[in-house]
Structure 1
Amino acid sequence: MSEVTKIKFGTDGWRAIIAKEFTVENVARVSFATGNWVKNNFDNPTIVVGHDCRFAGELFAETATKVFASQGIKVILAKGFVSTPMVSLGAVKNNASLGVVLTASHNPPSYNGYKLKGHFGGPLSPEHVQEVEDMIPNENTVDLSADIDDLVAAGLVEYQDLEKMYIDQVKESFDIEAIKNCGLNFAYDAMYGAGQNVLKKIFPDMTFLHCEHNPSFMGQAPEPIAKNLNEFSELIKAKGNIAAGLATDGDADRIGLFNSKGEFVDSHHILLLLTHYLHKVKGLNGKVVVAASTTPRVERLAKLWNLDFDMVKIGFKYIAGQMVTEDVLVGGEESGGIAIKGHIPERDGIWMGLVIFEFMAKSGKTLEELVNEVYELVGEFKYWRDDLHLKEELKQEVIANCKADKYSSFGPYKVQDVNTIDGFKYIFNDDEWLMIRPSGTEPVLRAYAESKTLEGAKAILKAAKEELGIA
């Protein structure tokens, strides 16, 4: 018998390479544990199941569905590919016990994955995910030969159009006419991901890129960061009349944003813009919660307006946990996962983009002008991140040195304070910092820096690499 694959859930679900570890048998094993967990925790449970645009998504979603049905659990199965926020919203709207999304999010095209969503419409809490993981059997014993149509006829499976449900929710929640009639042109790059149809159906006149089904993502990991979006940036520059551009990742829960010059607007700026709009313009209150790698300027803005603030470990589940139990206005992290009050406690790239578009439409201001308004409150800043690919020994050596407090300066940058909520955030002064954090899944050391200028941020990273002995 072949060796059993140990299945572990990482920061955001289980990810593996399709046909290597991500197989029908292994998806069935995870689903068996998931079904048992749901039955232990809910009477007459229901699970909402959906898949994104990746290879064999339908096959894997149907595999999970067959396992759940064999356990006597009612399944609401999405018609066609869907985004993660659609499944999370579907869990809430159907009063379901759980949502399961077959997606590898922003990972390369060779990957697929398995995300668990709580009945409240956000990531299942880490302790509950651990309970599921602990129940995964060593092999699949479920007969997968059942026909989905037979399960539908038996009342165990019901198809639902989660995309339409999501679009209806968008139409109810935003001033669509204001966005359509404001005289501004917007663009959207779906990165071939699962959000590709939403804006086409609501704003057919928008400029679209990579909004067709292509499971290979043209070989590009669908992560909406600047270096992956050069084509979109060039399109905005070439058109010359686009006010802002929105990009979302493979399962449409992360946001990328561009201004009219085709310049990337990072998540730190988006968090500030959202807080500005929701509190100052819409008059909403609540706590602001961000991950440890986020700019301190978010805290500065929150304090300016007497809003509660909290910083948590990296991983959206830690933010979602607070959104479920407390009154949170904005929650987000550096990687583009952001959620707001009035929607589900879930990252949602399209939703966040529409908030920004609505802000522009209602204020009559450009994205650049709105960013400048925020700068007037917290100061201008730029941010940069380097992913340093190191041998594991060097990575561990650097982390050991960080833990032992070996670094009092990085070149000319003197350390004033160290924040160790997650990784090591070295504060140099009010406007400059460096953060070093190991990836939990790959031989990568993430280095983040902020300064008043981009040159300043890159200079900090250069000094850091020299101090750490990384060429």
Structure 2
Amino acid sequence: MALTATSVSTETHRAPDGAPAAILLAAGVDDASRDLLVQPLGDTTVVQHAFETLTRVVDRSRVVVVVARGDQRVRELLGPDLAYVEQGASLGTGSAVLDARGAVPADAGAVLVAYADTPLLRSDSLLGLLTRHRLKDADLTFLTAVVDTPRSTYDRVVRQDGDVVAIVQEGDLDAEHVDNHEINVGAYVAGPALLFGSLERLVASGAGRLTELAHTVIGEGRRVATYQIYDTDEVHGINTPAELGEAADIVLKRLFMPKKNTDTTIHFGTGGWRAVIGEGYTLANVRRLCQAIANETTRQGLESRGVVIGGDRRFLSHESKIAAAEVFAGNNIPVTLLPDDVPTPLVTFAAPYLGAAYGVIITSSHNPPEWNGMKVFRQDGSLPLDEETDRYQDEANALSVDEVITLDIDLARRAGVVVDRALTDPYIDAIEQIVDVDAVRGSNLEVVVDPMYGTSQLTLGTILGDMRVRADFIHEAHNPLFGGVAPAPDLQRLSALIEKIRSSNGRYGLGMATDGDSDRIGIVDETGEYISTNDLLLLLYWYLHEVRGEKGGVVRNLATTHLLDRLAAHFGEDSFECKVGFKHVTAGMEKIGAVLGGESSGGLTIRGWILGKDGIFACALVAEMLARTGKRISELREMVYAITGRLYSLEAGVPATPEMRVAVPRRLEAEPLTHVGPYPVVSVSHLDGTKILLEDDNWALLRFSGTEPVLRMIVEADSPEKAAELLDWLQGFVTAGV
């Protein structure tokens, strides 16, 4: 809707009296500056970025956009439903604001003026500006920032006893203030009468800059307030192609900024949705996500199949699974609600067992205790692929609380739309149909199990009991704090399990551990040595292929040992590398008909079992392997190493700063690798992160985690010394120039 300089939109609705209005200056000063406004910036363009930030604090219907005469590009980008004003004579920013006077809603209590070529201002900064203006009852309020090296294009703010007494250009600073680095950023708020009245007089006298307005208001002794921004990236204006490139880096960096307090959106990673309790993880978000999944269930016509819902032992898991059940019930979708605390693989099993449209479990897996989340499984028990989870999260984030349909749990139970049903026995029975329970009986195996305060005690304890395995459990109590550590079954967190085995005088033949939701496994051998999942996968693949006669290839993610490939080649079988995320592992298993799929972080499954990782099943399979071979873990390792040779893995992680997420990939693109230290690079894969392939199955991987703000560095080499050398090189590469 194009407006003249004096016309007013009749299509915008009235906001409550006193609500702010805004003017976005998007006319530019010449063709080059106007071209920059419509250039891509992140997922949008420069002018769209500025406009979207502005409309987070001022209603869209109350924003006036000033464009150049005859300009259509900004209109096409922002849409036809806005109030547009064509700038008259190019007399400066003050003149452009004055041109917009007739289009500003008559009831505006204050007018916020912002520039389209300064698109990196945060909405919080604009909200702070408006709020400061109101609370200070100011005549004029503007944004300031203190920068290390002010550009000459920015005027300096001069204060006396904290009050603004002048705004001057750099060359006009006196000796007392020459080192003053506080700048006028260039966003203003004023009442409409003062704003337009003062500008009318200034423009008539030939003063066309908005800064002249500030000079006048200060000189008249009116109330002037400021709001300081502390992220100097916000000050970045776009007046050249080089500055546009710098702005793109800032936008990219912001994508990876940890968002706290105000970030309530749902984001799926490689293992479901996870967030800090009280920030991203709230019952409101649980309900919104379940409504989105319920909507998808209805669209597919799968309501009659229902859903199965469970929860683990974390804070809010019980309340969350009730909230989830109420949403599905409210959408006329039957719910099988699993009582008590259940392992994730039980829900993975339950979806196809019941023929449910979806399986849902409230869990944050191995994350620290302040986290919780949700995993969603399809009808066959597999994890949805990225395009599906993107659809769920986008729809959930677009839903308001009023759009969530619920039915009280007590009423839902009375109506039979929510049914409480334990599926522990069917799950255990299914495992015992695959694992040879009878073969383990009589083996006199004694084990120690560390469920890490998680959910495996009932199921794994029952299976081991049926095998007549004598099992001692530690850390089996219900403790949502997990003993103060993240419940991940890795070497650093299994010290109690290791010590119990080492102090037992050879009593125990095996130590087993599962993570918080029991889909990952950790193993300690009879000597108390931690066995990496890489080695465990190698042993199980050998066992399945050679002892159980299960022919077929193997699938691993790209962070998992290449010894599996060597063993597969020895067997004449295929090996397949996939991205991180168990959904990619199971998809790869189907693709090549693999007998085993796994990942170095502790997850595995076999052909014929569920399409997800299962630490409980894995523990049972390891017990079977020891019983049927009659060998200890240490003996099996040496036997398989004789076939494959040795490779040594090391891993490290560093906090993934936003700067690092931008700089590391850019440096990898700009500096094609030919060597890692003295070792020649054979090839580089960008399947998932950057994997540098060296000779003789040696490799190094840089990958940003999909579940935590961490950059992971993983290497595998012929010797421990070479592995340490490769890891040192990666760490040096990552930190250089960041």
TM-score for both structures, normalised by structure 2: 0.61
Shift of 1:359: 0.8
CA distance in 1, matches of 2:279, 2:718: 46
CA distance in 2, matches of 1:328, 1:225: 26
Residues 357 and 242 (structure 1 numbering): CA distance in 2 closer, same or farther, change over 3 Å? same
Partner of 1:93: 353
Partner of 2:277: 18
Equivalent residue runs for 1:63-462 within 5 Å:
63-136=323-396, 137-141=398-402, 146-204=407-465, 205-239=470-504, 240-323=506-589, 327-389=593-655, 391-440=657-706, 442-462=708-728
**What letter corresponds to residue 381 of structure 1 in structure 2?**
L
Residues 137-196 of structure 1, C-alpha deviations (whole Å, 9 max, x = no match): 432236788442331221201111122222222233222243242122222111111112
CA distance in 2, matches of 1:58, 1:469: 43
CA distance in 1, matches of 2:723, 2:387: 37
**1:108 partner SS:** coil
Q: Which moved more, 1:177-186 or 1:118-127?
A: 177-186
**2:328 partner SS:** helix
Q: Return the index of the structure with the highest Cα Rg.
A: 2
CA distance in 2, matches of 1:238, 1:42: 58
**Over aligned residue pairs, what C-alpha RMSD do you find?**
2.2
Residues 211-236 of structure 1, C-alpha deviations (whole Å, 9 max, x = no match): 22111101111111111212211222
Partner of 2:294: 35
Residues 405 and 311 (structure 1 numbering): CA distance in 2 closer, same or farther, change over 3 Å? farther
Structure 1 gaps of 5+ residues are none
**What letter corresponds to residue 118 of structure 1 in structure 2?**
R
CA distance in 1, matches of 2:498, 2:381: 33
- Calculate percent identity across the aligned residue pairs: 35
Q: Which moved more, 1:302-311 or 1:95-104?
A: 302-311
CA distance in 2, matches of 1:91, 1:22: 24
Shift of 1:413: 3.0
Q: Residues 413 and 460 of structure 1 are in contact (CA less than 8 Å); yes or no, is this contact kept in structure 2? A: no
Q: Which moved more, 1:172-181 or 1:245-254?
A: 172-181
Residues 441 and 75 (structure 1 numbering): CA distance in 2 closer, same or farther, change over 3 Å? closer
Residues 246-300 of structure 1, C-alpha deviations (whole Å, 9 max, x = no match): 1111111111111112212112112211211111111112332111111222112
Shift of 1:210: 1.1
**1:141 partner SS:** helix
Q: Which moved more, 1:422-431 or 1:255-264?
A: 422-431
Greater relative contact order, per chain length (Cα 8 Å cut-off, separation 6+): 1
Structure 2 gaps of 5+ residues are 1-56, 58-260
Q: Which moved more, 1:71-80 or 1:279-288?
A: 279-288
Residues 457 and 325 (structure 1 numbering): CA distance in 2 closer, same or farther, change over 3 Å? closer
CA distance in 1, matches of 2:489, 2:263: 35
Q: Residues 327 and 406 of structure 2 are in contact (CA less than 8 Å); yes or no, is this contact kept in structure 1? A: no
**What letter corresponds to residue 392 of structure 1 in structure 2?**
P
Is structure 2 residue 264 aligned with structure 1 residue 5? yes
Q: How many aligned residue pairs are there?
A: 471
Q: Which moved more, 1:223-232 or 1:142-151?
A: 142-151
CA distance in 1, matches of 2:285, 2:345: 24
**What letter corresponds to residue 178 of structure 1 in structure 2?**
A
**1:430 partner SS:** helix
Q: Residues 247 and 256 of structure 1 are in contact (CA less than 8 Å); yes or no, is this contact kept in structure 2? A: yes
CA distance in 1, matches of 2:628, 2:311: 35
Residues 4 and 432 (structure 1 numbering): CA distance in 2 closer, same or farther, change over 3 Å? closer
CA distance in 2, matches of 1:76, 1:391: 42
Residues 144 and 54 (structure 1 numbering): CA distance in 2 closer, same or farther, change over 3 Å? farther
